[in-house]
Amino acid sequence: MYAQGLNSTDPAAVEAEDPDRLAAFQARIDAEEKIEPNDWMPAQYRRTLVRQISQHAHSEVIGMQPEGNWVTRAPTLARKAQLLAKIQDEAGHGLYLYSAAETLGVTREALYDQLLSGRAKYSSIFNYPTLNYADMGAIGWLVDGAAIMNQIPLCRCSYGPYARAMILVCKEESFHQRQGYAIMVAMCRGSAEQRAMAQDALNRFWQPSIMMFGPHDSNSTHSELSMKWKIKRFTNDGLRRKFIDATVPQAHSLGLTIPDPDLRFNEATGHWEHGAIDWDEFARVLGGDGPCNRQRLKHRRAAEAEGAWVREAAAAYAAKRRGANERAA
C-alpha cells in the first residue's frame, strides 16, 4: 500500500546477479531467516526496500497534515490532546522508517530531497482534504484500519530493520483506529446532524481507503518478486478483501451505509464483494493531480525551509562545543 507507486521490478537486474549468491540468499529467505543490513542481498532487493520503506516513511510524514488541519478546532480539550498524540505518533513512525531505510545505505538527506522535489511517492490517501471534524473519525477508523491490515504482515518482512520498525508501529497504531472509531460512535449516537456528518465522511473516504491497497493483483507487476523475497506476504486484493470483511460489520454497527450500491455478501465464499473502483482517479491522485497534492508538498517544503535555521544553529553550536573541547584538551 505504501508501495503504490513502485515501478515494476526489473527481471534483467536480477538475472545479472551471481547465481550462487542469489540461490543462497533465496534459501535464507525460504528458511524464514531475516536479512540484516550488512548481509549480502541482490541489488534489486535493496532498491525495492529503499523505495518501499521510504515511501512508507513519506506517507507517515505527509499523513500528519490532514489531521493537523483539525487540531485547533477539535471539539474538546481531551479530543485535541488525543489528536495531537496521534499526530506525534505519525511523526515517530516516519522516523522509525527513515532509520530503517538508512540501514540500506541511503542518507536521510537524500530521502527528504526525493520527497521535497516531488520525485518520491507517498500513499494516495493523504491527498484528500479533511473537510470537517467527522473526517478525523473516518480517517482513524478507515485509513488507520487499512494501514494496520497492511502493516501486520510487514512485521514478518524478510528485512530485519523494516520488520522491527513495523512491530513498533503496529503496537501504537491500534490506538489510532480505536480512537477514530470512538469518534464515529459518538457522532452516530448524537444528533441527526452529527449522524449525517459521519455518513458524509464515510461517503468521501470509503473509495480512497479501499484504493490504498493498490491495483488489482492482475495489474500489479511488482508483486511476484516481492512475494518471493517475502518483502510482501499478501497480495493487494487479499488485503483489500480482509479489510472490507472486517469493516462492513463495523459500519453496520454504527448504523451507517457503505457508499457502494454493488456491495454484497457472497454466501458461498463468506466474503463481501465490492463494486468497481475508479482506477483513473487512483492514477491521477498518485500521479500528483489529486485534490491536495500541491498543497501537501508546498506545506512540507515550507516546514523544511522554515526549520532550516534551527538545524543550522544546532550544527553551529555542536561545532563550537567541539572546538572548545579540543582547545581545552
Partner 1 sequence: MTETATPLWEVFVRPRNGLAHRHVGSLHAHDAMMALQAARDVYTRRGETLSIWVVPSSAIVASDPAEKDMMFEPTATKIYRHPTFYDVPDDVGHM
Instruction: Give the x/- contact pattern for partner 1 in 68-107, rule: CB under 8 A.
Output: -----------------x--xx--x--xx--x--x----x
- Hey, what's the cell of 34? 531475516
Does 174 contact partner 1 by CB under 8 A? Answer: no
Window of 15-23, 229-237, 283-291, 317-325 that interacts with partner 1 by CB under 8 A: 317-325
Residue with the three cell numbers 497480495: 235
Report d(CA 180, CA 135) in Å as an integer: 9
Report d(CA 199, CA 66) in Å as an integer: 19
Distances 28 to 31, 46, 56, 204 between C-alpha atoms, Å: 5, 16, 25, 44
Instruction: Give the x/- contact pattern for partner 1 in 219-258, rule: CB under 8 A.
Output: ----------------------------------------
Min CB(177)–partner 1 separation in Å: 16
What is the number of residues in the chain?
329
Instruction: Render 29-83 in DSSP notation, one character per residue.
Output: HHTTPPB-TTS---HHHHHHHHHHHHHHHHHHHHTHHHHHTTSTT-SSHHHHHHH
Min CB(268)–partner 1 separation in Å: 44
The one among 34, 108, 178, 271 contacting partner 1 by CB under 8 A: 108
Nearer to partner 1, 15 or 39 (CB): 39
Min CB(148)–partner 1 separation in Å: 17
Q: Are 37 and 104 in contact (CB under 8 A)?
A: yes
Min CB(274)–partner 1 separation in Å: 36
Min CB(137)–partner 1 separation in Å: 22
Distances 78 to 71, 75, 104, 195, 319 between C-alpha atoms, Å: 11, 9, 40, 21, 42
Report d(CA 134, CA 141) in Å as an integer: 11
The one among 278, 314, 323, 324 contacting partner 1 by CB under 8 A: 314
Nearer to partner 1, 38 or 218 (CB): 38
Judged by CB under 8 A, the chain residues 17 through 76 that form the site for partner 1 are 36, 38-40
Min CB(82)–partner 1 separation in Å: 13
> Which amino acid is residue 4, in one-letter code?
Q
Nearer to partner 1, 255 or 307 (CB): 307
Instruction: Give the x/- contact pattern for partner 1 in 176-205, rule: CB under 8 A.
Output: ------------------------------
Residue with the three cell numbers 540461490: 23
Q: Around Cβ 39, how many Cβ atoms within 10 Å?
A: 12
Kindly state the number of chain residues that form the binding site for partner 1, as judged by CB under 8 A.
28
Helix, strand or coil for residue 263?
coil
> Phi/psi of residue 187, each to 5°?
-70, -40
The one among 1, 3, 49, 165 contacting partner 1 by CB under 8 A: 165
Q: Which residues bind partner 1 (CB under 8 A)?
A: 36, 38-40, 85, 88-89, 92, 95-96, 99, 102, 107-109, 113, 164-165, 168, 172, 308, 311-312, 314-315, 317-318, 321
